[in-house]
Every structure is written in structure tokens, then in C-alpha cells.
């Protein structure tokens, strides 16, 4: 293992484009072909070894498995929890700009818990066994298990009648998850808790208000839930959090600056590293970075987009860091793309070569601004 420890100057959110062999193998599983599951696992293993090599070759100090075993960035993990199921319901799905996801929805059918044999523990072990640098796994944060739920899909009476009971069990579930990943050898765990950014969008805020829920209360409650879930982590475990405005087939959902949520994000979650979307004007200005306390926390500024293949200018990116340094110490900044390349198995509208060039650019920026990736 490398002697470098997170946080790093160069990093990425986690998901990577799925190669054709994996997509074909998964289609065979969905068609119910005999032996397809084993063939899919073999295709995934081979693809993950390949993306690990690619990440190491471009010079990244931390690598992921590209979420290649997943169909969704969040629903796979959530559906593997005790008490929570992901079901197909025609007419549902998540509406992005101009496109809609598959009609999958989360349903709470029992008390929440993190099972000892959660499959993603083995996903991490495979990653760690096949890399010579720091292995990182990204899982959905606790807010994901609440934000996407419709009231009628909470089928546990206590949870339906008392949201605090549900939040309390979410915290217990995630505490177990954090400990389980640590015991599996994970020292760099990322939670994708994207809904802080969604709750900065005026239209989304108005929709929650129509439901009778104050979006500012919800931001604060999500921050407290994250804090309590990770508060007891061992000192040598770094927790990161990613926040974006939607990422599906190069489209998006929300817009609006981080201003309504920045105080809670930086000062109430207890998170060490923040991956923040900043690739378009939809993300607002850099002013909220002024709320990051001086110290060891770090913001990975998402100035490089995963939504389009055009490669950003190194000089332009350096100028963006000059601008960001007006609000936060440059030593508390790093560079990463704004989101993953393939938040779902469909992937964004880029090629494998485009993806590699984007990650190479991440490393080049870190070397140009800080003299290295660590």
C-alpha cells in the first residue's frame, strides 16, 4: 500500500463508464439466461481490474472500483439493507431534464439495519486486494434513504408516524456500516449525500414547503444525521461527502448555489472532505466556501465536468483556483470532477478515452497548483 493517506489534492467521485462486456453480461442476467450470473461476476472482476490499472496509470493516489457492479449509485446499496427494498413501479422513476430513469422506487418494508454480509463489503475487499494505492469506496449517504421516499412507501407503522424514529434507525444502520467497512480494511469512505445541493434549488425548496416540510429544517436534520452516523469512526478513517445536482446520461435535476446549505455542510456534518459540483453556473458562486472552517477539512472543487467530452483548459482551471482562494485557504482545496462518469449503468455521453483524459487533467491540475497529488 502507498504511504500516502487522504485527503489528496487529486481525486474523483467514484463511478466510471461501464465497458460493453459488463453491459452485455448484465443484459443476459436480466434475461434470465442460465449461468449468466457467474459470467457477469467474471466480467465485472476483469473490468474492475482494468479500471484500477487505468486510475493508477494516470497517477491518482486513490482508486475506486468504478461502481461497475452497480446499476445505480445509490439504489443498489440501499436495496441491500435490511428493511429497505427497491421495487419496479411503472410510471415512476426520477425525472431529469429531457430524460427519465428506469421506474425504480425505494420502499421501507421493515426495520432498517446494516447486514453483516452486505455485498459491498466484499466489493471493497476485492478493490483493496487489487490495488497498490489507497482504495476508496463510495456509498450513498443516509439522506438518500429518506429524500426519495414517498409517505405511502414507508410501511413500518412507527416510522410512518414518527420521522425521528426512522432517522434514529438510519443513524444506527450507518454507524454499523461505517464500522463494518473499517473492519474490512477501509480507511477512506465516501458518502454521496447529494440532497443538500438539491435543497438549494428554489423550485425543489418550494415543493418541500408544499408538503409541509421546511427545507432548511431538512438540511439541518440531514447534517445531524450524517454527524451522528460517523461520530464514532476511528481516528485513522477519513470520511468524504459528495454533493451534486443530478447526473444521469449527461443531464441534471437541480440548480442553485450552495448558500442555503453551506453552514450545515461545513460545520455540522463532521465530514473531512467535501466533493462539490462547480462545473457550470447552475452551481452558483464560490462565496459559500468562506464558511469552511480553517483546519484540516478539504473541498475538492468540481471544476472539471463529467457531462461533456470537451477538455477544460489548464490555465482556466488555475484561474478558478485563484478565484476560490479569495474565500478559502488554497491549502484546503483539491481538484476532482464535479460528479461520477456513470452514476447509473447507462453512463454519461463520453467515451472511455474522454474519461481517461479528464482524470489525467485532474492530476495535471494538482501538480500545477500544489506540486503533487497528495
The shares of helix, strand and coil residues in the chain, as percent rounded to the nearest 5, are 45, 15, 40
In a domain, residue 339? The reply is: yes
**What is the model's pLDDT at position 135?**
98
CATH no. for residue 106? 3.20.20.210
**What is the model's pLDDT at position 209?**
97
**Three-class SS of residue 8?**
coil
Q: Encode 174-229 in three state secondary structure.
A: HHHHHHHHHHCCCCEEEEECCHHHHCCCHHHHHHHHHCCCCHHHHHHHHHHHHHHH
Residue with cell 444525521: 225
Q: How far is CA 267 from CA 97, 196, 208, 262, 295, in A?
A: 32, 13, 24, 8, 12
In a domain, residue 91? The reply is: yes
Half-sphere exposure at residue 355, Cβ-oriented, CA atoms within 13 angstroms: 22
329 touches 298 (CB < 8 A): no
In a domain, residue 318? The reply is: yes
In a domain, residue 9? The reply is: no
In a domain, residue 12? The reply is: no
**What is the model's pLDDT at position 1?**
44
Comparing 82-96, 166-180, 217-231, 351-365, which segment has the lowest mean pLDDT? 82-96
Query: What pTM did the predictor assign?
Result: 0.95
Q: pLDDT digit string (tens) for 244-298?
A: 999 988 998 999 999 999 999 999 999 999 999 999 999 999 999 999 999 999 9
In a domain, residue 8? The reply is: no
Q: pLDDT digit string (tens) for 195-233?
A: 999 999 999 999 999 999 999 999 999 999 999 999 999
Assign 3 a pLDDT band (cuts: 50, 70, 90).
low
**What is the model's pLDDT at position 306?**
98
- DSSP secondary structure string, 144-180? HHHHT--GGGB--HHHHH-HHHHHHHHHHHHHHHHHH
Number of Cβ within 10 Å of residue 28's Cβ equals 16
Half-sphere exposure at residue 339, Cβ-oriented, CA atoms within 13 angstroms: 28
Q: How far apart are the first and last CA of the chain?
A: 15
333 touches 325 (CB < 8 A): yes
In a domain, residue 45? The reply is: yes
Range of the domain at 232: 20-370
DSSP state of 276: E
- Write out the three cell numbers for 104: 425504480
∠ CA(309), CA(243), CA(321), 5° rounding? 65
Q: pLDDT digit string (tens) for 78-88?
A: 999 999 999 98
> Which residues have C-beta within 8 Å of that of residue 235, sequence separation ≥ 6?
none
- Using the predicted structure, report yes or no on whether residue 4 has a pLDDT greater than 90: no
- Using the predicted structure, report yes or no on whether residue 96 has a pLDDT greater than 90: no
In a domain, residue 4? The reply is: no
Counted domains in the chain: 1
- Using the predicted structure, report yes or no on whether residue 2 has a pLDDT greater than 50: no
Amino acid at each position: 500500500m502507498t504511504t500516502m493517506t487522504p485527503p489528496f489534492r487529486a481525486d474523483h467521485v467514484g463511478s466510471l463508464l461501464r465497458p460493453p462486456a459488463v453491459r452485455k453480461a448484465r443484459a443476459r442476467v436480466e434475461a434470465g439466461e442460465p449461468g449468466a450470473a457467474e459470467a457477469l461476476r467474471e466480467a465485472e472482476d476483469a473490468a474492475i481490474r482494468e479500471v484500477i490499472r487505468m486510475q493508477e496509470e494516470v497517477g491518482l493516489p486513490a482508486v475506486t472500483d468504478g461502481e461497475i457492479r452497480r446499476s445505480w449509485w445509490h439504489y443498489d446499496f440501499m436495496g441491500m439493507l435490511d428493511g429497505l427494498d427497491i421495487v419496479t413501479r411503472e410510471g415512476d422513476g426520477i425525472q431529469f431534464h429531457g430524460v427519465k430513469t428506469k421506474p425504480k422506487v425505494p420502499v421501507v418494508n421493515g426495520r432498517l439495519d446494516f447486514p453483516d454480509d452486505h455485498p459491498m463489503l466484499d466489493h471493497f475487499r476485492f478493490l483493496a486486494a487489487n490495488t497498490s494505492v489507497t482504495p476508496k469506496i463510495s456509498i450513498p449517504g443516509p439522506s438518500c434513504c429518506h429524500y426519495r421516499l414517498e409517505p405511502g412507501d414507508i410501511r413500518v407503522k412507527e416510522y410512518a408516524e414518527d420521522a425521528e424514529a426512522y432517522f434514529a434507525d438510519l443513524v444506527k444502520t450507518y454507524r454499523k456500516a461505517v464500522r463494518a467497512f473499517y473492519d474490512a480494511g477501509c480507511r477512506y469512505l465516501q458518502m454521496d449525500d447529494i440532497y443538500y445541493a438539491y435543497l438549494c434549488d428554489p423550485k425543489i425548496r418550494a415543493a418541500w414547503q408544499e408538503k409541509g416540510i421546511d427545507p432548511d429544517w431538512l438540511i439541518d436534520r440531514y447534517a445531524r444525521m450524517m454527524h451522528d452516523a460517523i461520530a464514532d469512526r476511528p481516528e485513522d478513517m477519513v470520511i468524504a461527502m459528495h454533493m451534486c445536482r443530478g447526473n444521469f446520461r449527461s443531464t441534471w435535476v437541480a440548480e442553485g448555489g450552495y448558500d442555503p446549505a453551506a453552514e450545515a455542510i461545513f460545520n455540522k456534518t463532521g465530514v473531512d472532505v467535501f466533493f462539490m459540483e462547480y462545473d457550470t453556473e447552475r452551481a452558483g458562486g464560490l462565496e459559500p466556501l468562506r464558511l469552511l472552517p480553517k483546519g484540516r477539512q478539504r473541498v475538492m472543487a468540481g471544476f472539471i465536468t463529467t457531462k461533456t467530452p470537451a477538455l477544460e483548459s489548464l490555465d482556466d482551471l488555475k484561474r478558478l483556483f485563484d478565484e476560490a482562494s479569495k474565500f478559502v485557504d488554497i491549502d484546503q482545496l483539491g481538484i476532482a470532477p464535479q460528479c461520477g462518469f456513470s452514476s447509473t449503468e447507462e453512463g454519461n455521453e463520453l467515451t472511455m478515452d474522454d474519461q481517461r483524459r479528464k482524470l489525467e487533467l485532474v492530476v495535471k491540475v494538482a501538480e500545477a497548483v500544489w506540486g503533487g497529488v497528495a
